[in-house]
Homo-oligomer: A and B are copies of this chain.
Amino acid sequence: MPTPEDAPDVAEGDLTPASDGRIPGPRGLATRNRLIECTANIVAVTPYSDLRVTDVARAAGTSPATFYQYFVDIDAALLVLATQTTAIGAELAGYIKNRRWRGKAGYDSARELVDGFLDFWQAHLPVLRVVDLLTEEGDARFRQARVHMLNAITRALADAIATSKPDGTPQAIAPMATASALVSMLAHVAAHREGMEHWGIEVPQVTEAMTRLIYWGVNNPRVPSS
């Protein structure tokens, strides 16, 4: 008896109902996509606070009322973009799984992770900026998208840490904790990359530094006994 729906196989998995509850047909979906696309274009060149439903609608060649037919507010449109982007970001875990993490190979793995992470963030900068913004504003949906992305990476890294037990170290620590700290570092540097460059800090050097810290985090060198 659950979901006795005839559940039509939707092409893009988008069976999102419009504001009046009905599911849009092909023409409606087209405008909806056009609105999303225009939102992406505008958010790329406009700070979030200056985003106007009016502008998005105008860019898409429709009226504001049409926008509200498909989204309750701009955030709803942005959430679509955010979900797409963070889904891609979650695949950054691929830089961690099934890699070698000890010695020279491990160091190389770490560098590829750092580069991959920074490149990804750079490529999706406008959307990720909005994600960070609304997460900080307390929007649960955006936080979930963000956590979904970062957690996939963190878990993978924690696995790598837990697996790569070197030197029979007895000083181990919760792998998720170290992984969280390292992913935090990556996320913050990626988000403030421009600011750092602007302030005279060379990103390649920070890349190198983060590579080392990750290597250390995974391989857990000796620390003073408490």
A226 within 8 A of B: yes
Instruction: Convert A107-151 into 0s and 1s, putting 1 for each residue whose CB lies closer than 8 angstroms to a CB of B.
Output: 100000000000000000000010011011110000100010001
**Is there an interface contact between A212 and B182, defined as CB atoms closer than 8 Å?**
no
Pairwise interchain contact A184-B188, C-beta atoms closer than 8 A: yes
Contacts of A187 in B (CB 8 A): 188
CA distance A198 to B189 in the complex (A): 23
**Does the CB pair B213–A174 fall under 8 Å?**
no
Q: Output the residue of A104, A107, A151, A176 with the most chain B CB within 10 A.
A: A176
Which one of A29-37, A58-66, A203-211 is at the B interface? A203-211
Output the least CB separation between A112 and chain B (Å): 14
Interface pair A205/B174, CB less than 8 Å apart: yes
A173 at the interface (CB under 8 A from B): yes
- Is there an interface contact between B177 and A208, defined as CB atoms closer than 8 Å? yes
Is there an interface contact between B143 and A136, defined as CB atoms closer than 8 Å? no
Minimum CB–CB distance from A180 to chain B (whole Å) comes to 5
Q: Is the CB of A196 within 8 A of B209?
A: no
Cβ contacts under 8 Å, A224 to chain B: 103-104, 106-107, 215
Report chain B residues within 8 Å CB of A222: 221
Interface footprint category on A? 35 or more
Q: Is the CB of B177 within 8 A of A181?
A: no
Q: Which of B103, B133, B177, B225 lies in contact with A209, CB distance below 8 A?
A: B177
Q: State whether B221 touches A182 (Cβ < 8 A).
A: no
A224 to B107, CA, bound (A): 7
Q: A49-B137, A136-B191, A199-B147 are in contact. Are A178 and B215 (CB under 8 A)?
A: no
Cβ-defined contact, B195 with A180, below 8 A? no
Q: Report the separation of the CA atoms of residues A134 and B192 in the bound assembly, to the nearest whole angstrom.
A: 13
Q: Complex Cα distance A148/B34, Å?
A: 42
- CB A79 to nearest CB in B, in angstroms, measures 15
Contact B201 A177 (CB under 8 A): yes
B contact residues around A49 at 8 Å (CB): 49, 137
Known pairs A132-B136, A215-B224 / 13 extra A-B pairs, C-beta < 8 Å: A49-B137, A104-B226, A107-B224, A151-B199, A180-B189, A181-B206, A181-B209, A184-B185, A212-B217, A213-B217, A215-B223, A216-B217, A221-B221
